[in-house]
Structure 1
Amino acid sequence: MAAFSGPAKPLLSLNPQEQAKFQKQVAQVRQRAAQQEKLTPGVVYVGHIPRGLFEPQLKAYFSQFGTVTRLKLSRSKKTGNSKGYAFVEFESDDVAKIVAETRNNYLFGERLLKCDFMPPEKIHEELFKDWDVPFSKPSYPAVKRYNKKRTLKEKLRMEKRFKNKEKLLRKKLAKKGIVYNFPPLVGSTPVCTPTFLERRKSEVAEMNDDDEDNEITFKQPVLDIKEEIQEAQTPIRSGKKRRRRRSKQ
């Protein structure tokens, strides 16, 4: 059989007098079907996600309600672990509203899921940015570069760079009038030998045996408590004696 391609042929009415009315009704039905095909997507915020649930598990769980077009799980940039919330976009906003209504406060994995329908005006343009990019753990290139094994030539170059930084730092401090002595950034590491330990012990002993005391102390006389109480109780009398008035007879 030959395959026919092209636009659909116009339908004919059984009554030729009602052909125009019939064509109008057919156009309305076709327009209604086209509108039903263009569904408005809806986004649901999902919070309190249990541990161990990631993009594949969440998509498999929410796909039982309807077609999931996009899903974005929020992750930490440092560790890559889940932050506990995600955004799920459904093909139809009606399905999204049903999910937000039925799954909110639903006990799942010893946690109560929080599902809220997000209106279109509150959805950011970059909410689903890189949602389809597979997750890869942070590599920390700077840490790997610093901890890598170096040859003797690379170690000498690194030591020279540290010394130049130290010189610049000391010049900046001197220019600002700051007098501060700090140990060099690059120096020989002391080896903990028995002689080194003995020398260190002798230095500590000399510091403890030092009798010189540069601190100024003020000694105050300590009064006896009984004397203070007696002084407070005895009233102070003047040296002059009052004369008694004689009564007139």
Structure 2
Amino acid sequence: MRTNVYVDGFNLYYGCLKGTPYKWLDLEQLFDRVLPRNQVETIHYFTARVESRPGNTDVAVRQATYLRALATLSRVQVHFGNFLASPVRAPVLECNPKGYPLRNNGQLVVKRNPNGAVVMEWVHKTEEKGSDVNLAAHLLRDALKGTVPAAVVVSNDSDLLTPIRMAQTDGGIVVGLIPPRPNGSAELKKLASFKRDIRQHDLAACQLPTTMTDASGTFTKPMDW
């Protein structure tokens, strides 16, 4: 079945790739492997350009290199949202000796001064905006135009329940799910027409070449990836 794949890039990264040596991922190889009975036509990859931040100054360079690598893949289309960084004043949490937040009856415990006032600190908050909306919009557009009879969504975001349901009922297409985390949204799994999983051996088998060439010249996989 002719199929488009819609990938929430940050969801894929934090669900499958962070902390692994498999970030230099070939999306074409991966989805051909995970969806062997589907004819994968277009892979829509939704992300945002990150900013360098304290303790991780090279993150923007690494991402830019990976996006350059993706641009060499003929079936991959990259769509950008926005990456926002801002100062936010937030409550400080009580933590155990290992540094993990404490809970009392399931509720997080905030730190308080001797007078009972909540201890507040300024924190550097980063967030990605727009990828889920962009994914939903492209999925619905393709479903209503009848671009392909099947779609696969790569995300754990339950905010996508309504657009997936509309793509199925109003667009009449089959929508499958690849959850980046095995324990992802139960509602998404229930709604999907079918589900596939990404295993560690799939990631290991689907890596881009260490050295690549595009119209601008030769480039290599970042050393600390």
Q: TM-score range by the shorter chain?
A: under 0.3
Larger RCO: 1 or 2 (CA < 8 Å, sep 6+): 2
Q: Which has the larger strand fraction?
A: 2
TM-score (norm 2): 0.20
| CA radius of gyration, larger in | 1
Point out the structure with the larger helix share. 1
- TM normalised by structure 1 equals 0.19
